[in-house]
Structure 1
């Protein structure tokens, strides 16, 4: 059967201005079920594109297994380089960014993707607490005690007081992604104390952004989550200063702080 002849269109091709879209890179764990959805929900999605690469990870979520991702970060970041100029790259794992170290993460990503601002959930949370003027926090994680302890040490070493720290004892980040809204609300309120100035919900896998507004309303104080802090930092780095969605908490009313808790004087 004959097909019709193919010819070039006589219409000229026009391209959109590349500056119309703010492009971000996201390095997600192979087992991450939450980060992509959460970031798109919180960023101005009509102006944003998120380019995702994955890094191999094996459960259980222990400090040892998290550190094993270190040599894989540069290769994962290199897959983002063809996306063109990026506003920032987010390494979406709170516990890993802490046990590997923010500076080590940034150096590994720079090796693969060049000089691009790097957002880690832990570093973004520190900026969030500075922006909210919160120096004493209550903390909830879905991790085991072993995996939670480095997080407590990370924050206290940078000058934050921890009024109470609760963890849910989960070992598999795929289970963390299935924790119900009500469970997060109940556990966060249980972790809260009267002297805490903010509540931190750690873990990019736990779907905490669903309930930030409810917890803030019931606790009467700001709530910061890993994915919320990352999205807020990414938005501000990209210049979206007026992007202030109310459903994701008080943090989005804040600008990036000039200095972050733990910075040298």
Structure 2
């Protein structure tokens, strides 16, 4: 997310007036397991306090499965709690979780049935499926790449989803999630998959950028990253 969201917004800067700065505070996690994800999420309050000191205008919580592994609907609790931390620090800012953004982004385009690609082990992918279905979005097919090392996930080829998604059964789906993980690169594949499939394609990073722009009251447009960032929604 630290590379893909800036890349999306830099592309946007070429066609829109707004300019952006980026500020990060990191939660530790090396292996994508339920136990490490829970420890990481517990550290999110510290991160919100640190970023509030920079007086940022919006915060993005950049781990989808950490939120989803904490229980159904948890993104709403997390966003509310972390916003409270920014208020306490004197720098109130809205909080967007990538988990909530994926849900909201899919709902924005009217997608009720989807196919998804994840880098996770299959049990974590099932958590994502269950979470989305709890939010009223049916997952008709999924592929798990089963890469547990978080650094290795970040080193995957950003064009790989272009090939992996060919194996998804996309009959009867409304949209494809080319990366249900903010750590797995996919930005270079989004528009190409959408052009090939003839349906909306998004990723956690695209959805998070979309929701950040909405929270900022800006036009939800960045060229070349799929329907969600076309400005129509």
Deviations 1:42-77 (A, max 9, x none): 1245511121111122x3201221011232111111
Shift of 1:170: 0.5
Give the match for residue 103 of structure 1.
76
Please give the alpha-carbon distance, in whole angstroms, between the structure 1 residues aligned to 2:152 and 2:47: 24
| In structure 2, C-alpha distance between the alignment counterparts of 1:129 and 1:72, rounded to whole Å | 28
Q: How far, CA to CA, are the matches of 2:174 and 2:192 in structure 1?
A: 16
Structural RMSD (CA) = 1.7
Gaps of 5+ in 2: none
CA distance in 2, matches of 1:64, 1:167: 19
Q: Cα deviation per residue 1:103-159 (whole Å; 9 max; x = unaligned)? A: 342244234322421111111111111111111000110110121111110011111
What TM-score does the superposition give when structure 1 sets the normalisation length?
A: 0.77
How many pairs does the alignment contain? 219
Q: Which residue of 2 aligns with 1:37?
A: 3
With structure 2 as the length reference, what TM-score do the two structures score? 0.87
Structure with the higher strand share, 1 or 2: 1
Could you tell me which residue of structure 2 aligns to residue 136 of structure 1?
A: 113
Q: Which has the larger radius of gyration?
A: 1
Match of 1:184 among 149, 161, 164: 161
Looking at structure 2, the residues matched to 124 and 117 of structure 1 have their Cα atoms a distance apart, in angstroms, of 13
The runs of 4+ residues in structure 1 deviating greater than 3 Å are: none
After superposition, residues 73-222 of structure 1 pair within 5 angstroms as 73-84=44-55, 86-100=56-70, 101-114=74-87, 115-200=92-177, 201-222=179-200
CA contact (8 A) 1:202 1:225 kept: yes
Unpaired runs of 5+ residues, structure 1, are 1-34, 257-265
CA distance in 2, matches of 1:212, 1:76: 29
